Amino acid sequence: MTFLSILWFGLAAFLLALYAAADGFDLGAGVIYGFTKDKESKARILASIGPFWSGNEVWVLAGLGSLLAAFPPVFSALLSNLYVPVMLVIVAILFRAVGVDLRPKTESAFLQRIFDFMIPFGSAVTAWGIGLVAGNVLVGMPLDQAGNLSGSWLFFLHPFALVTSLVSLVALTLHGTLYVAMKTDGSQSEALAEAGKRLLLILAGLALAAAVYGALILGPRFAASKALLGFGIFSVLALAGYVGVFMDLKAKRIAASFWASFIGVVSTAGGLACLLFPVLIPSRVNPAWDLTVAATASPDKSLFVMLIIALVGVPLIAVYSFVAYRSFRGKAKAAAH
C-alpha cells in the first residue's frame, strides 16, 4: 500500500459517510411522509427537503466516483456482483426523485396519489438497500481469484446483510424524523419528536442484534484489521451521538438531537470503514482473494492527479451545500398552490 492509496480509501469512506448523513435525512423524511395523513403536514415535509435533496445526492456520486477512479476493480465488483440490489436502489432513487419533484406541482388527485406512493416507497427502499449493500460488503461476497462471482446470485440475501438493511432503514428514518421535527413546529414537531423516541428504541435493539451477530460470524476476520483504533474511536463517537439523541429528545432540544444523529450516522459509517481496512470487499471463498487497497488501487500518478481534482471539487460541493443550507435555514412552510 502507498500513502496515496490509503488517502483515497479514507476520502472515499468520508464521501460515502457524508452521503449517508446528508441524503439520509431526506430519505428518512420521505419514509415518514408515507405515515403522514394531513395534507398540510405532508406539504411541510416536502418543503423541508425540497431545496436540498438533489444536492445531497451529489455526495454519493462523488463517493462512487472516487471508488471508480481510485479502485476500479472494487467499483466493478460492487456494480456487477450486487447488480440486483444496486439496480433496486437506483430505481428507488428515481421513484423518490420524481415524487418529490412533481408532487407539489400537480393538482390532479390521481397523480397526487401516485406521487404519495412513490415518495415513501422510493425513500424506504433506498434506505433499506444502503444497509443491504453495506452488510454484504462487511460479510463479503463469494468472489473467485479473478474477483468474479462464484456462487448463487442470491448471495446478497445473507441474514447479516438483511439485519444491517433494517438497521439502515430505521437509523435513516430516525434521522429524517428528527430533521423534519427541527424544521417544523407545533403539534407536528412534537409528534415527530415522540416518534423519534420510539424509533431510537427500535434502532438500539437492531443495532445490538447486528453487533452481536457480526461479532460471532466476522470476529476472526476483522481482528486482523489494521485500523482497530479508528474503529474504536468511531464506535465511541457513534454511541455518544445516539446517547445524545436520547438526552436531547428528553430535554426537548430538537435541533441538537438532529445533529447528534448526524454524528451517529457519520461515525457509524467511519467505524465500518476502519473495520474493513485494508480490505475493500472480502471474499467469502478465500481470504487470499480479498479485494484490498494494495491490490486494486490505481497507479500513484493517477491517484495524484485525481487528488488535485478532488481538492478543487470537494470544497466546491461543500461551499454549495453550505450556501444552500444557510439560504433555507429556519422553519419550513408549506408551498402555496
Please state, in angstroms and as integers, the Cα–Cα distance from residue 18 to each residue in 12, 14, 86, 112, 187, following that order.
10, 6, 19, 31, 31
Residue 233 — very low, low, confident or very high, per pLDDT cuts 50/70/90?
very high
**pTM for this prediction:** 0.93
Tell whether 336 is covered by a domain: no
Tell whether 223 is covered by a domain: yes
Tell whether 282 is covered by a domain: yes
Segments forming the whole domain that contains residue 193: 3-327
Tell whether 337 is covered by a domain: no
Q: What is the pLDDT of residues 48-98, one digit of tens each?
A: 998 888 888 889 989 999 999 999 999 998 888 999 999 999 999 999 999
Tell whether 333 is covered by a domain: no
Of 52, 51, 25, which Cα lies nearest the Cα of 258? 25
Q: What is the pLDDT of residues 241-270, one digit of tens each?
A: 999 999 999 999 999 999 999 999 999 999
Which whole number is the average pLDDT over 2-23?
A: 94
Tell whether 155 is covered by a domain: yes
Question: Directed axis angle between helix 109-139 and helix 186-222, to 10°?
Answer: 20
**Residue 337 reports pLDDT greater than 50:** no
Helix or strand (DSSP H, E) at 279: strand 279-281
Phi and psi at residue 313, to the nearest 5°: -70, -45
Tell whether 126 is covered by a domain: yes
Per the CB < 8 A criterion, the answer to whether 18 and 267 are in contact is no
Tell whether 84 is covered by a domain: yes
Name the domain count of the chain.
1
Sequence-distant (6+) residues with CB within 8 A of 227 are 273, 274, 275, 277
Residue 207 — very low, low, confident or very high, per pLDDT cuts 50/70/90?
very high
According to the model, what pLDDT value does residue 334 have? 66
